[in-house]
Structure 1
Amino acid sequence: MPKIWANGRILISLGNGRWIFGWNGSRVMAGDVGDKIMDEKHLKQLLFVDDVRRWLRGYRFEVLEGVKVPFSGSAFPPSSGYVPAAYFENAVKIPVEASDPPPNDSENSPINLLMLTISIAGMDSLNPCAFYILTFLLSILLYARSRKKILIVGGVFVITSGLCYFLFMAAWLNIFLFAGQIEILVWIVMGFAMLAGILNIKDYLYPKPIESGGRLARIGASMRRLLRKGSMPALILGSFALAFTVNIYELICTVGFPVIYTEILSSYKLPLIVHILYLILYNVIYIIPLAAIVLAFAFALGGRRLTEYQARVLKLVSGWLILVLALTVLLNPAMLEHPLTSLQVMLMALGASALTMALERGVRGWIYARRMRGPPRAD
């Protein structure tokens, strides 16, 4: 069988457009298998790429249990009973067609990444923590009856939110770009993302009193002190400091989405400036609902605050979205290259949220009915 040895790896032709690729190092997973057929040019690059798993992801292949390859032209005669060979701990069987690279290859499909960016950023923009705190701040500003102050404080809050989120995501992107080939790192990070999703679901099922005199009371006191400042520069600087402090809490509240998105973004082989532009697009989409809330308060000089129950429901939906996305990244990342995946993720999360709400209502109703009946009376 014809063989190509290079860089401590091997390609073995089985004929009829079928090849075995053997290597040592990071493993591939069944979830990496996709529907695309590899071409010969892409196949031969497997001998030299740094991250084999990312290069194979989305293509059709069969995972094998390693491969043992005898050396050709051995100096040892068959009668010696010794056949020197190389053993590769990882191997895959790949069907190949002699054609140009497929047009929907991840590195040549910016449309898929653009749609994924818009959809995940759109999901992330429904941020219950940001909504609740922003509407709380603006409701205090209503007492000042000043459209100008609402626009200034609200605008500073929105811009600071976008800036903090961008810096946070840029840090995660750098981690994935420089250490993303370490498979265990992806599992650890996705595990933390899933934990964030579970905590959001827990906050719906077991809500904590949001307006108890803790964090919001301190934020409200800070805002009232800001309103008493006479100069505009002092108001702007004070608003920025307050918004920055508040956004530290928000990052903890919604860590899941940015971590998942930056891991996906790092898997696309793009120039650094393009990665940065995608992060900017993500954050512009992220702040659109916040900007809309500020404008609604400013030009209506009034508005409806997000209720505690509405914040809980948003947390529930975001928790399920984070869970489904993290599981998709771990178990079947090739799905993320399909345009309809975002819609499927959204529908699954909404369905799981509706089921959770129905079960929660049913259990609470059953507990309430049991309490109302009370213990049986003794005759």
Structure 2
Amino acid sequence: MPGLLLAFAVSADETLNMYVFASVDCPHCEAQKPFLQKLDADNARLRIETFEVLRTDRHHQRLRHMAAGHGITPGSVPMIFVGGRVWVGDSPVIRAQITAWVDHCLHVASCPESATLEQRPAPEVEPDRTSTIDIPLYGPVDLHVQSLLFSTALIAFVDGFNPCSLWVLTILLALVIHSGSRLRVLIIGVTFLSVTAAIYGVFISGVFGILGYMLYLGWIYWLVAGFALVFGLVNVKDYFWYKRGLSFTIDDRHKPGMFRQMRGLLGEGRSIPALVLATIVMAAGIALIELPCTAGFPVIWSGLVAAHDVDWGYFALLLGLYLLIYLGIELVILAAALITFRVERFEQRQGRVLKLVGGLIMLALAAVLLIRPELMQDVGGTLAVFLGALAAAVLLIVLHRRVLPAMGVRIGDE
């Protein structure tokens, strides 16, 4: 995401200087403007200077100098420097802390002039204990990213109902159950899910790495939103006109080969190590084939996480949560197959409904990223986005399957 850097200081005449490095291409910078305008209006001795940093390199030297004065490196995030303190990101908590620090610099004690600070190590900032939690084996985490945890859980849950993944898993389990061996079902099921999850995790990590490196370019942020828009529209289209035109599904030409690989696991006399190895090879091939069908939500989620400028340690925690929730649904199906020794095959009709729900959620996320990105920095706003998309999906299904047919109107190929 494009950078936004603020710096405050009190000069000899008690004026507090604010230096804003932003860009008109940065949605978060635009979303933060009303806050800055109100801060300016509420403080007569606050003086704000704004500098564009993406469309021109004219102010990069000033930015580098001020960053060096605080002992940090400019990055692809909203970075806020206030009298020696540094905040990363934009959220209600951060805005409240900035407001309090401006008040402190204006009315309590003088703060250094950020534009004239010499290069030095970054000062230690005492964390706000009211907004941090300690995660075992990791350390303190600021609660302003609680919305990111919540968004991760919701997106992973929706992604877990991916029609392509569920179709492959139910077909595989249905075939293996015919072997009559619960042990074989367990070995193949666990190995298959472990391999596909590992490949999924590697793919998501790669996307996050690329976006985290490039999000300082304004068009990359818009590209993520455009990606969500395209994937969403195609999935909604597939509810009405399945596989007609562009469609993110498993190509029919790959299915005979997939069935051959699955049936190859049913041969008798194969040792457990050989069975595991054969399942790994099969799972890796299928995971790569279905990746275009399953890539939508991981790319969107990676863009949201990269926009928060989290470090790799926290990203690993979020990714672990994502994969755990994503796999949870498939693990429930596997457990049910082991207990009942039967599995219902995933049908096209069910897949179309899931595509509609997922597509509308992608469209909602695209709209939020383009118009109101600050909504995703609040738990209530995030929940409203998902519930709104779900309500729209229910309404469309009722209209399509009940209301319009009763009126003699039919849309789509169902």
Structure 1 segments unaligned to the other structure (5+ residues) = 1-7, 61-94, 371-379
Q: Which moved more, 1:335-344 or 1:282-291?
A: 335-344
Q: Aligned partners of 1:189, 1:369: CA distance in 2, in Å? A: 34
| 1:159 corresponding residue in structure 2 | 194
Matches within 5 A, 1:96-135: 96-98=102-104, 109-135=144-170
**DSSP 3-state at the match of 1:323:** helix
| 1:306 corresponding residue in structure 2 | 346
* AA at the equivalent of 1:242: M
Structure-2 change in CA distance of 1:200 and 1:16 (3 Å): farther
**DSSP 3-state at the match of 1:129:** helix
CA deviation vs aligned residue, 1:339-370 (integer Å, no higher than 9, x gap) = 12332122111122123223433555656789
Q: Aligned partners of 1:341, 1:115: CA distance in 2, in Å? A: 11
| 1:273 corresponding residue in structure 2 | 313
| 1:84 corresponding residue in structure 2 | none
| 2:232 corresponding residue in structure 1 | 197
Q: Aligned partners of 2:20, 2:165: CA distance in 1, in Å? A: 49
Q: Aligned partners of 2:302, 2:410: CA distance in 1, in Å? A: 47
Q: Please say if 1:335 is aligned against 2:384.
A: no
Q: Please say if 1:141 is aligned against 2:168.
A: no
Q: Aligned partners of 1:304, 1:17: CA distance in 2, in Å? A: 71
Structure 2 segments unaligned to the other structure (5+ residues) = 50-61, 68-73, 81-88, 94-100, 106-125, 133-140
Contact 1:140 1:224 in 2 (8 A): yes
Q: 2:267 aligns with which of 228, 236, 244?
A: 228
Contact 1:54 1:267 in 2 (8 A): no
CA deviation vs aligned residue, 1:319-342 (integer Å, no higher than 9, x gap) = 111121222123222111211233
| 1:219 corresponding residue in structure 2 | 258
Contact 2:404 2:410 in 1 (8 A): no
| 2:330 corresponding residue in structure 1 | 290
**DSSP 3-state at the match of 1:98:** helix
Q: Aligned partners of 2:214, 2:285: CA distance in 1, in Å? A: 30
| 2:287 corresponding residue in structure 1 | 247
CA deviation vs aligned residue, 1:214-234 (integer Å, no higher than 9, x gap) = 443432222112211522222
| Residue 181 of structure 1: how far off its partner (Å) | 0.7
Q: Aligned partners of 1:311, 1:152: CA distance in 2, in Å? A: 27
* AA at the equivalent of 2:222: W
* AA at the equivalent of 1:97: D
Structure-2 change in CA distance of 1:249 and 1:356 (3 Å): farther
| Residue 267 of structure 1: how far off its partner (Å) | 2.8
Q: Aligned partners of 1:17, 1:121: CA distance in 2, in Å? A: 48
Contact 1:204 1:312 in 2 (8 A): yes
Q: How many residues align?
A: 329
Q: Which moved more, 1:293-302 or 1:361-370?
A: 361-370
Structure-2 change in CA distance of 1:181 and 1:38 (3 Å): farther
Contact 1:226 1:239 in 2 (8 A): yes
* AA at the equivalent of 1:157: F
Structure-2 change in CA distance of 1:249 and 1:101 (3 Å): same
Structure-2 change in CA distance of 1:51 and 1:216 (3 Å): closer
CA RMSD of aligned residues (A): 4.1
* AA at the equivalent of 1:263: G
Structure-2 change in CA distance of 1:241 and 1:96 (3 Å): same
| 1:75 corresponding residue in structure 2 | none
| Residue 18 of structure 1: how far off its partner (Å) | 8.3
* AA at the equivalent of 2:103: E
Q: Aligned partners of 1:17, 1:197: CA distance in 2, in Å? A: 50
Q: Which moved more, 1:195-204 or 1:116-125?
A: 116-125
Structure-2 change in CA distance of 1:24 and 1:270 (3 Å): closer
Matches within 5 A, 1:319-334: 319-334=359-374
* AA at the equivalent of 1:172: V
| Residue 53 of structure 1: how far off its partner (Å) | 4.7
| 1:375 corresponding residue in structure 2 | none
| Residue 290 of structure 1: how far off its partner (Å) | 0.7
Structure-2 change in CA distance of 1:329 and 1:300 (3 Å): same
Q: Aligned partners of 1:98, 1:312: CA distance in 2, in Å? A: 56
Structure-2 change in CA distance of 1:11 and 1:255 (3 Å): same
Q: Aligned partners of 2:226, 2:278: CA distance in 1, in Å? A: 37
| Residue 211 of structure 1: how far off its partner (Å) | 10
Q: Which moved more, 1:158-167 or 1:103-112?
A: 103-112
Structure-2 change in CA distance of 1:24 and 1:287 (3 Å): closer
CA deviation vs aligned residue, 1:194-252 (integer Å, no higher than 9, x gap) = 21111111111112499996443432222112211522222212211221222223321
Structure-2 change in CA distance of 1:110 and 1:317 (3 Å): same
CA deviation vs aligned residue, 1:7-33 (integer Å, no higher than 9, x gap) = x998799x9998664547564443455
Q: Which moved more, 1:237-246 or 1:171-180?
A: 237-246
Task: Report % sequence identity.
Answer: 27
| Residue 307 of structure 1: how far off its partner (Å) | 2.1
Q: Aligned partners of 1:367, 1:120: CA distance in 2, in Å? A: 37
Q: Aligned partners of 1:17, 1:305: CA distance in 2, in Å? A: 70
Structure-2 change in CA distance of 1:280 and 1:24 (3 Å): closer
